[in-house]
Every structure is written in structure tokens, then in C-alpha cells.
Chain A
Amino acid sequence: MDMLKNLIIIMMTSVLVNNYVLTKFLGICPFLGVSKKTNQAVGMGIAVTFVMLLATAVTWPIQEYVLNAFGLEYLQTIVFILVIAALVQLVEMFLKKSIPALHASLGIYLPLITTNCAVLGVCKNNITDEFGFVESLVSSLGAGLGFLLAMVLFAGVRSRIESSKPPKSFEGVPITLTAAAIVALSFLGFGGIIENLFA
């Protein structure tokens, strides 16, 4: 029971309180770049969630059984980024061959994810927070879902901006960032939710 409670807390923390995009500032490029249309935002969000889960499932054992076991912790950055890049490439090849329909809808987002700092960030944070394997997977799933949530919410906000007219020098990027600030502000409201979750 305690185990389950712990996992729910980790999940809620990474979806709402420590949202990767809006409070930790990871993965801002796709957040601002691919959030113009809701369907694109959903596609990118699902692709990121999937890669995060997969990357964690591969990097955690590598850290535990290879890097820690042989005292090679300093190689973490190099190994992780290479593993993630190779993984994304493999997934893309696999999808292209066996599930072309899924590749057509998610495939274009996959190469973009290689250099998405949220994926590398979540893998490294799981190690820093000393999570076990299951906890790491749950935290990655939460991070991905949080990313998806932020993307979809923000895509909705942006479609409203399209039809309004901001001051001249605020057109384009500045008004997008200001809107992102307001969305981030709303996520600050989740601050106390974890302490009182099981109280």
C-alpha cells in the first residue's frame, strides 16, 4: 500500500507540481515550436512520453549495472545521449517497417526528440533522485504526461492568440512567451497538492 502511495505521489509530482516544461524549463523548444495546432501538440506529446519511458527503461539499468558497477559515473552524459540518440533512430526504423500508419503520424516528431533536453533531463533526474527502476518508470511516465498536458493546454491558449491583435512589438514570439507565463502561473497553484494528497 505504501509502495502504491509513493508511486502516486511521484506521478502527481512530475505531472503537476514539477511539470517539466512549466516549472523546470525542460523541452521549451518543442513546447513553443510545435504547439500551434492541437493535433500536432498531441502527437508530439505522445511521442515524447513514449521516448521518455523507453529511454528510462534503458538508461537506468545501464547506470546501475555498467556505470556504477565499473566506476564510470563520469561518462554518464556521453553514454546517455548516445543511447537516447540510437534508441530514437531504432524506434523510427521499427515503426517505419512494421507500423507505417503510426510512423506517418508520430514519425516526424521522433528525430526532433533526440536533442530534446527533457528526455535527457528525466533520465538524469531519475538517477540524481535515487529512484528505483519502477519509481523511475513512473516518474518518466508522469514527466511525459505532464509535457502532453502542458502542450495541449498551451495549444488551446495559442489558438485564441491567433485571432487577437497584440501591440506591434509584442507580435509573434513575445506574446507567445507572455501567454506561456500565464499558463505557468496557473501551474504554481498546484504547489501544495502533494502534502495534502493522503492527509
Chain B
Amino acid sequence: MNKMKTLLNGILKENPVLVLLLGTCPTLAVTADAKSALGMGAAAFFVLVGSNLVISLLRNIIPDKVRIPSYIVIIAGFVTIVEMLMHAFFPSIYEALGVFLSLIVVNCIILGRAEMFASKNKVVESIIDGVGMGIGFLFALLAMAVIREVFGAGSFFGMEIPFLKDYCFPILTSAPGGFFVFGLLIAAVNKFSTRKPKKEFGCEGCPSAATCGKTKCEKEAE
């Protein structure tokens, strides 16, 4: 029962993108079409599950002081594996994702889950958390990408949609459209969900918050 809760937590209640507001860079950058969003979601899913597994296994061995660098090395290792696999088997998606594939290393969702969950929980729970968060990220990316592709390019996974093809808004597939659709999605979550997204982008989701001392950030702000 508890495991089911952990799984659903990542998909709905604490959706990393739409509720926790983490990983905004890839969310905006790779969602111009559904195919690259799917590729990105799958790659991040693999890295998330893999790093959660390994970090949870090593949680009693890694010294507390060097934990962030250790996590980064583990995550970077998985990212390199994904990069090589994508390059070999899905070259077109590899090209489309470009630099963002290797930037999974600095995706705050993955470091955040390592710091907040995998470093404190048992292996099975950590894997389930990784799966849940990975699916949540994938869903959010797909939702963004489908809206942007259908209304911005008049197609769905590359297939043309007869009427919309001639009456689309190309601006949605460019940079400003990304910000706008993301804003609309969060406003929709605000409106219809009981669990509200955070009011502001803040330090607490950021994995380096522990190192920099969030309190210091806030003191400075005052």
C-alpha cells in the first residue's frame, strides 16, 4: 500500500514538473514536438531509476561531506550510458535532443530525488520513487509537447492533422510559446487540483540548497 503511494506520489501529487516546478529547462526546450519529448522523458526515466538504485545501495558508504559530488558522478555515468545507447539506436532523437541529452546531469529532478529520497530510503522504495517521478516527468513533457505540436505545427507525433495544419499558431513551437504554454498548464493545475503548485520558484527544490544554505539566500534577500 505504502509502495503504491510512493509511486503515485511522483505521477500526480508531487509531479516534479507541474507541482514541484523542477527541471524547467528541458521541459521548455524539448517539448516543441512530441517525439523528442518522448525521447527525453525516456532518457530521464532511465537515469532516474538507475541513479536512485545505485545511490540507495551506496547510501551508507558515501560520506556525508562529499555526497553531492558522488551523486553527480553516479548520475553522469548513467547519462553517458544513455547518450551512447541513444546515439547507437535512435540517432534521429539523439540529434533532436542535442545538448539537452547530456544536460540531464544537471537536471534538478534527478539530483533532487537522490538527495531527498534515495539517500534516505531502502532500495526497493527508491526504485519505485524513481519510476513514479520518471513517469510524472514523462507525462508532463508529453502534455506540453502535444499541446505545442498540435496547435503550433498542426501535427501529432509527426502525423499531419487535416484542418489544424492550415490554421496553426507557429509561435507555440518557438521559445515564447514554450514559456506561455507552461504558464497555462500550471495555471490549469492551480485551478483544478487540490494540491497547489508552489507559489514561487524557490531554493527548496534545488539540490545545491543544502550546500549553499537556503537560510543564507533568504537572509540576503531581505
A residues near B, CB below 8 A? 22-29, 32-33, 36-37, 40, 74-78, 81-82, 85, 108, 110-112, 114-117, 120-121, 124-125, 128, 168-178, 180-182, 184-185, 187-188
Q: Does B97 sit at the interface, judged by CB under 8 A?
A: no
B159-201, CB < 8 A from A: 171, 174-180, 182-184, 186-188, 190-191, 197-201
Chain A nearest CB from B155 CB (Å) reads 22
The residue among B99, B190, B197 with the most chain A CB atoms within 10 A of its own CB is B99
Q: How far is the CA of A184 from the CA of B199 in the complex (A)?
A: 22
Chain A CB within 10 A, most for which of B25, B26, B106, B217 = B106
Closest to B72 in A: A81
Which B residues fall within an 8 A CB radius of A? 21, 24-26, 28-29, 69, 72-73, 76-77, 79-80, 83-84, 98-99, 102-103, 105-108, 111, 171, 174-180, 182-184, 186-188, 190-191, 197-203, 206-208, 211-212, 216-217, 220-221
Q: Which of A25, A27, A29, A36 contacts B206 (CB 8 A)?
A: A29
**B81 nearest CB across to chain A (Å):** 10
Q: Do the beta carbons of A181 and B79 come within 8 Å of each other?
A: no
Among A25, A77, A120, A184, which residue has its beta carbon within 8 angstroms of that of B83? A77
Closest residue to B101 on the A side, CB-wise?
A77
A29 contacts B24, C-beta separation under 8 Å: yes
Whole-angstrom distance between the alpha carbons of A174 and B24 in the complex? 13
Count chain A CB atoms within 10 A of each CB in B21, B171, B182 and give the residue with the most: B182
B residues in contact with A121, CB < 8 Å: 99, 103
Could you tell me the dominant secondary structure of chain A's interface residues?
A: helix
| Docked complex Cα distance between A85 and B71 (Å) | 12
From B29, B186, B221, A174 is in contact (CB under 8 Å) with B186
Contacts A77-B76, A78-B77, A81-B106 given: A173-B186 contact, CB under 8 Å? yes
Among B69, B178, B191, which residue has its beta carbon within 8 angstroms of that of A85?
B69
Given known contacts A115-B106, A177-B183, what 19 new A-B pairs fall within 8 Å (CB)? A25-B29, A25-B178, A26-B29, A33-B200, A77-B80, A78-B76, A108-B217, A111-B208, A112-B206, A112-B212, A115-B208, A117-B107, A169-B190, A169-B191, A170-B190, A175-B183, A176-B183, A181-B183, A188-B174
Asked whether, in the complex, the Cβ of A178 is within 8 Å of the Cβ of B179, the reply is: yes
